[in-house]
Amino acid sequence: MDEREKLRKFRELDDAFAEALRELDRPDCQLEIPTGPPMAPLAEEVEQDEATRQQRFEERLRALMQEYHQPAEQVARLLQALKKMGRIA
């Protein structure tokens, strides 16, 4: 791309930016700003991710309990103590 083409593209971009700023300054401006996908599916994805993380945590915790021969009562007390100390939420 030669220098003239670069300058032309820059001017087009500058003009478009200036026009957008002018539109924002107009009080009756009704801009159609793309907002992306609806939020409901995103919220569902977050819930699924949280459920998946919790499931993985529980599976790993059970595996560690078996590996180190720790009963659920002792692990529960350990988790409560860690929570009291602020080490986990």
At residue 31, the pLDDT reads 57
Q: How far apart are CA 83 and CA 89, in angstroms?
A: 6
CA distance 26 to 19: 11
Judging by beta carbons within 10 Å of its beta carbon (0-12, 13-18, 19+), is residue 65 exposed, middle or buried? middle
Token code pair at residue 48: 């699924």
Cβ contacts of 1 within 8 Å, gap of 6 or more? 9
33 has pLDDT over 60: no
Q: What is the pTM of this model?
A: 0.43
Q: Would you kindly state where each structural domain of the chain is located, as residue ranges?
A: 1-33, 37-89
pLDDT at 43: 66
Q: What is the pLDDT of residues 1-27, one digit of tens each?
A: 688 888 888 888 888 877 877 777 776
Please give the share of the chain, as a percent, with pLDDT higher than 90.
0
